[in-house]
Every structure is written in C-alpha cells, then in structure tokens.
Structure 1
Amino acid sequence: MRPQKILDTDMISGLTNVFRDKGYEGASLNDLAEVTGLKKASLYHRFPNGKQEMAECVLNTIDQWVDDNIFHPLIDENKPAKLRLKDALKNIEILYDSGKNTCVLRAFSMHGGISLFQQQIKSGMDKWISAFNTLGSSLQLTSAESQQNAVQTLIELQGSLIVTKGLADTSIFKNTLKNIEKRYSKE
C-alpha cells in the first residue's frame, strides 16, 4: 500500500477553510481538490459520496474538537465555574481565530446546505446552549436565567462573528468574549 501523500488533518483543515469561506453550495470540487492537493478522482476515492461526505467529515471533526475543548470544559464540575468559562472562552477564541474564521454551522446553513445539514446544525446549536446552560446552573442561576443566558451567548457569538467579518475588526469578537465573561461573572 502506498503512503498517503496528504495527512488527514491537513486535508480536513483545507476542506474546512473552503467550506467556511464559500459555504456548501459555493465550494466547488475544483476548490476542494486544490486545497487538499488531490485530484478529483483521489478525493472521490477518500469520499465516495462526494462533497456532502466531505462536509459531514468537516462537521464531525469540528464537533469533536468543540466537544473536547469547549463543551467538556464548560460542564466539568471538578473545576470552579468561572475557570471553566475562562478555559472555554479561550478555546472559542482559538476555534474562530479571534473572529477571523466564519462559523462552519453558519456556512452550512445557507442555501442548499441547510436542507442537507439541518439536523447537524440544530444539534450543534443545542449542544452550545446545553453546555452554557450547565455553566449557568453551576453559577446558581435559575433554570430560566441559565437558559436565557445560554441562548444569548450563542446569539452574541454568532452575531459578533458576522459583524467582525463584515467590518474586518477582530476587536468586536474579542470584546464579545469579554462581555460574555463579565455577564457570567456577575452572576
């Protein structure tokens, strides 16, 4: 068997960047092949179901990273809640490269992508809300307050990514992370 010429991590990273930048519909097979350094035939060999399978792989990879680096820290009751929040926010900044990266859930929720990935998008957003809801409960918020803060946090993160991108100003995203930390720290 011949060794792989491209590492899976590099390939997934490249695919992720194309989908973030162009969305599902906008990402052409040429774009995806070029970023991976593979010919279309080799790309189809790795992903027999084509672009949809590539997108699912990207979603699954990001989902696992977010589970490990954001959700698990938020719900880890072996650490103080404020430290959990600080760790999660640091990893959110890494995930979105200080606001430079588009959220892949947003990228897949446009046009034809929403019909293909609606369940994964909803599941991903539900996990964000659940993890921040757990944090709020650890901070002794009422159930309603925890839920409201969790939803508001998701709205602020997603909204700030769009505004940051539109204004080309990463301070917007960074300030949003600080404001989220302040809101939970006041509780």
Structure 2
Amino acid sequence: MDRAAVLPALAEVFREHGYEGASLSLISKATGLGKGSLYHVFPGGKAEMAACVLDEIDSWFETNVYAPLREGEPPGRAVSDMFEAVAGYFRSGRRVCLVGVLALGTGRDHFAEAVRSYFARWVAALAEALRRSGHGDMASAALAEETVAQIQGAIVLARALDEPEVFARALATLRARIAAATG
C-alpha cells in the first residue's frame, strides 16, 4: 500500500477528530489498514501520518492557490480563481480546514511551522496579487489578512451552524469587496 492512497482517509479522520482524537483504531478503520500495516507505511506513527497529510495539503494549496496568486495575470483573475479553488477545496463550506483544526488543538506544537507557513503563505500570496492590482503594500497586506481570516471564520461558522450557505455568502461578499477595491 502506498502512502498517497491512504492520505485522503487519514485527512478526514484528522478533520473529524483532531490530532488528539484520531486514535489508531479510527485511523485503521478509515484506511482499511491494520495497525501493523499503518506502522509499516508510516514508521513515525500518527505524527508522521499527520505530517504527510499536511504536506499533501501544502502541495495542493501551493499549486492551486499560492502560485496562481503570486504569478497569475491579470491579478484580479488570480484572486477570482482563488475563491473558486477555495470553494471547491472546502466543498462550499462542508469541509473543515484541517490546518485550522491542528492550529487550535493541543497537538499544535507538533505542527507549528506547517500551520504558520500555510496561513502566512496564503496571506503573502494574496497580498502580492492585490499589490499587482494597484493596492499599496500596507493596504494589500491588511486586506489579504482580513480575507484569509474571514474565509477561515466562515468555514468554522458554516460547520458550527451546519449551514454551508454561510460559507458561500461569505465568499461572495469577500469576492465583491475585493473586486470593488481592485477596480
């Protein structure tokens, strides 16, 4: 069994139960692998599993969000594409942010750098696109930070209320606000 095949199931266990609550029993059930097989594929145990899932998420966001924001032209289109990618990734508010789950859990210290990098790179890439569209440095950084914070908050609120429409409305509002600000 290769790692890539089990990463989606691992991600969902960590999303649903957090790092602390993701027992080997739950992981085994979700992946269909016994504990011995899990340790064969992930000799570092649960910490290695979570790190591999974070690497997979990082790769997806680098390809589909960060790089297009940093390099996409025109920058307004790159920002619009970011909203589409984010809506798809978070299944229009039906999927929690695993990086956010890890950031808030007691296991956050294990993954502090990956969590910090995820959010910092997203804010920086969005700020770069906003700068290229004519915003000043400080205004771009502030709007990027606010946008990422509101996206993350909308994910939490949509999940808490069991109303994915909250996420869709938040994205629409943010998209309109940025479109108005970038002309």
Sort the TM-score into its range (normalised by shorter chain). Answer: over 0.9
The Cα of 1:36 is off from its aligned counterpart by: 0.8
Q: Which residue type is aligned with residue 61 of structure 2?
A: V
Aligned partner of 2:25 in structure 1 is 30
RMSD of aligned C-alpha atoms? Answer: 1.2
Q: Which residue type is aligned with residue 172 of structure 2?
A: K
The Cα of 1:111 is off from its aligned counterpart by: 3.4
Task: Say which SS state the counterpart of residue 112 (structure 1) adopts.
Answer: coil
Query: Residue 45 of structure 1: which of 24, 40, 58 is its match?
Result: 40
The Cα of 1:72 is off from its aligned counterpart by: 1.5
Aligned partner of 1:112 in structure 2 is 106
Q: How does 1:3-152 map to 2 (within 5 A)?
A: 4=1, 8-77=3-72, 79-152=73-146
Cα deviation 1:62-93 (Å, max 9, x = unaligned): 0000100111121224x212211121111101
8 Å CA contact 1:19, 1:104 repeated in 2: yes
Aligned partner of 1:185 in structure 2 is 179
Percent identity of the aligned residues? 30
The Cα of 1:110 is off from its aligned counterpart by: 3.1
8 Å CA contact 2:3, 2:41 repeated in 1: no
Larger mean CA deviation between 169-178 and 105-114 belongs to: 105-114
The Cα of 1:9 is off from its aligned counterpart by: 3.7
Task: Say which SS state the counterpart of residue 102 (structure 1) adopts.
Answer: coil
Structure 1, unmatched stretches of 5+, are none
Structure 2, unmatched stretches of 5+, are none
CA–CA separation in structure 1 for the residues paired with 2:84 and 2:160: 23
Cα deviation 1:134-172 (Å, max 9, x = unaligned): 111011111110010011011101100110001111111
Q: Which residue type is aligned with residue 50 of structure 2?
A: A
CA–CA separation in structure 1 for the residues paired with 2:137 and 2:148: 17
8 Å CA contact 1:23, 1:110 repeated in 2: no
CA–CA separation in structure 1 for the residues paired with 2:62 and 2:9: 21
Task: Say which SS state the counterpart of residue 43 (structure 1) adopts.
Answer: helix
The Cα of 1:8 is off from its aligned counterpart by: 3.9
Q: Which residue type is aligned with residue 57 of structure 1?
A: C
CA–CA separation in structure 2 for the residues paired with 1:178 and 1:29: 39
